[in-house]
Amino acid sequence: MGEGSVGVPSFDEFVAARASRLLRVAFLLTRDWQSAEDLLQTALMKAWSAWSRVNDEPEPYVRRIIVNAYTSSWRRRWRGELAHSVVPEPASLPSRVDEVAERDVVWQALGRLPRRQRAVVVLRYFEDLPEAQVADLLGITVGTVKSQTAKALRHLRVDPTLQPADERS
């Protein structure tokens, strides 16, 4: 395991360098580190099997596997939001209590979003992918990405008026 073609890092190098970033994406989708690790390892298994076919950039390929595995329904069986191994830190600065509380509300709301909307939010606002790339990754149209983003932001209580005009629905 681990041999790469020219221009492509070996599988081992790729895992060593990028796994923690991809794990963060998986965590934001699953909201549970254990499930995130499981999701990442599943994606890495699939990626390893196809490593010789991965082009210059394996990261988008693995990210696509993660997101698609997450949005597919069979995983809901028992890998949902059952419990958390990490306890949220309490607010430490009195002047930031409102802000922290607001963020907690948003974080909880993120967990209630439909899976595809949650994926769109993570890809747009954590991975900073352009809409076209998100659409390609999820296999939906750019218009659907826009509308799903707008709906998600409304649920998350993010001010939709602050979005660029062409992204409002």
Partner 1 sequence: MPLTETDLRALLSERSAEVPLVVDRLDRVRGRLTHRRRRRQLAGAVASFVVLLAVAAVVATPHWLNQPTTPSISAPTDPPEYYMGGKLIANATLRSAGQSSTSLTFTPTNWDLRVYVKCTGPEAVLGNVWVNAIVNGHLAPTGNCSGSGSWSIDSSGSQTQWSSWGVELGKPSTLAVSPASFPVNGASPSPLPQWPTGLLIEVGVYQRVPLDQYVFPSRPAKLHSLDLGLPSYEDLMLDSRKAGANGHWTIPVTLSQFADVTAYIVAPGAVAFSVAGKQVGACNWWDYTSYDCSVSLNPASLEAAGVSAHDGDTVEVTVTASRFSDPAWKVTRREHGPDQTAQP
Q: Cα(114)–Cα(141) distance, rounded to whole angstroms?
A: 17
Binding range to partner 1, per CB under 8 A, among 14-22, 64-72, 135-143: 14-22
Binding range to partner 1, per CB under 8 A, among 41-49, 67-75, 138-146: 41-49
Q: Does 103 sit near partner 1 (CB under 8 A)?
A: yes
Q: Does 41 sit near partner 1 (CB under 8 A)?
A: yes
Find how far residue 72's CA is from the centre of its chain: 14
| Residue 139, phi-psi category: left (phi > 0), alpha (psi -120 to 50), beta (remainder) | left
Q: Cα(51)–Cα(4) distance, rounded to whole angstroms?
A: 8
Q: Which is nearer to partner 1, 42 or 144 (CB)?
A: 42
Q: Does 147 sit near partner 1 (CB under 8 A)?
A: no
Map tokens 């967990």 to a residue.
111
CA torsion, ordered 4, 9, 15, 16, to nearest 10 deg = 120
* Burial classification of residue 94, based on how many CB atoms lie within 10 Å of its CB (0-12 exposed, 13-18 middle, 19 or more buried): exposed
Q: Does 162 sit near partner 1 (CB under 8 A)?
A: yes
Q: Which of 13, 55, 114, 143 binds partner 1 (CB under 8 A)?
A: 13
Q: Which is nearer to partner 1, 84 or 112 (CB)?
A: 84
Q: Cα(5)–Cα(8) distance, rounded to whole angstroms?
A: 5
Tell me, residue by residue from 122 to 141, as one string, x for binding to partner 1 by CB under 8 A and - for no binding: x-xxx-xxx-----------
37 contacts 67 by C-beta, under 8 angstroms: no
Residues 56 to 75: which contact partner 1 by CB under 8 A? none
Binding residues vs partner 1 (CB under 8 A) = 1, 9, 12-21, 23-25, 27-28, 33-35, 37-38, 40-42, 44-45, 48-49, 78, 82-87, 89-90, 102-103, 106-107, 121-122, 124-126, 128-130, 153, 156-159, 162-164
